[in-house]
Amino acid sequence: MMKNCIMKIPELLAPAGEEESLAAAIAFGADAVYVGAKAFGMRAKAANFDPEGLQKAVQQCHGAGVKLYLTCNTLPRGREIDQLPAFIRDAQQAGVDALIIADLGVMMLAKRVAPDLPVHVSTQFGVVNKLTARELYHMGASRVVLARELTLEEIAEIRAETPAELGLEAFVHGAMCVSVSGRCVLSNYMANRDANRGQCAQPCRWSYALTESKRPGQYFPIYEEDGYTYILNSRDMRMIEHLDKMVAAGVDSLKIEGRAKSAYYVATVTNAYRQALDLYQKDPEHFQLPDYLLEETEKISHRPYSTGFYLGDYPGQDIIRGGYRRPWELVATVDGWKDGFLYCTGRNRFFPGETLEILRADGPPVSFTVTEIRDEEGNLLDVSRHPMAKVRIPCSTPCPAGSMLRRQCREGETE
């Protein structure tokens, strides 16, 4: 069933919604990143990259040996089509390594305008079988991002029956969508915001109750307990414990969701999956995830986790709540270490006496207690309270610039 599958270490593909997240993805081990421009991307609320910023991002990635893919995965309409040729040419000129496209017409236009620019077919296309994957390859696609509704067994079947040159990409971590591969009109109906053009209002995360036409104002919960329920609110995906199964199925690129997420999220998740993949590469037959790497995925904002459809189960919904759990928070980024001091830029307030963790790209997190905080002039502070303020902290553990300091949230701060 896997005649075309050569066991290899897949690419780790991280999201970047802006410059800081891009830097985090590179620093914490991504092999490739995917970004959006100011148009034609499915994360319209992310900062995204203007033409100049895109060129700079490509240079930054290529200088670190990292690839950059640009999203062009909305479903454009009418006059938007006229803007596409220039968009594609600009992407090619910027040096992006591939376009991620969801629309067949846009794909064929891209092949005419920039025939040498690789095309990756977005998960929004809904590729669920070998026939579609093969035809897309023959039409010029170099990779397909598989539908999230597939099982690993189905992915292995697709891999076995498609050209080895066709890359298969699959999501391994992050938010899931209750609709089929992201194609949804619920946001259009309820908020007049088109989810297929990057404007999703996420009504699937809202709380719902039943009403009856002759009983106005009476709300009937759909759940067994009092209150409301989030019946459409899907759990987040987490496959870090099953990377060996992803590799065995023939997946070439492991994709982390999150272009609208923070740089801290990108750093933490990318770092965890990077270390897990490196451990797998050292001993594929005996891969076992260390507890600390699983714990890393608990230290970001997230909903309850599931393995999606990959293992043949149902991903399930988080019907009790609609928001994220936020057990840890970023308090500072590290600018450098010298003579026993961490030089940092503050992000959230922290105090002397608190225990912080250092998130590093070169190993497990390291805990230490803050004995004192000083400002740039050397004055003692009773709290680091101002975002972007420069402070220094005694710390015996050297760590590179770009590392992050975090603390466990206090009671009442985790919602």
pLDDT of residue 198: 75
Q: At what angle do helices 263-282 and 19-27 cross, to 10 degrees?
A: 20
| pLDDT recorded at residue 85 | 95
The pLDDT of residue 182 is: 67
Q: Which pLDDT score is estimated for 415?
A: 55
Residues 6+ apart with CB under 8 A from 96: 54, 58, 68, 69, 70, 117
- Which pLDDT value is given to residue 5? 43
**What single letter denotes the amino acid at residue 25?**
A
AA identity, residue 301: S
Quick one: 17 exposed, middle or buried, by C-beta within 10 A (0-12, 13-18, 19+)?
buried
Please name each of the domains of the chain with its CATH number: 11-178+237-306 (3.20.20.70), 328-408 (2.40.30.10)
Specify the pLDDT at position 140. 97
Q: Which segments of 139-185 does DSSP mark as H helices, in order?
A: 152-160
Give residue-wise pLDDT tens across range 136-176: 999 999 999 999 989 999 999 999 999 999 999 999 999 88
Q: Residues of the chain whose pLDDT is less than 50?
A: 1-6, 224
State the Cα–Cα distance between residues 208 and 221, nearest whole angstrom: 8
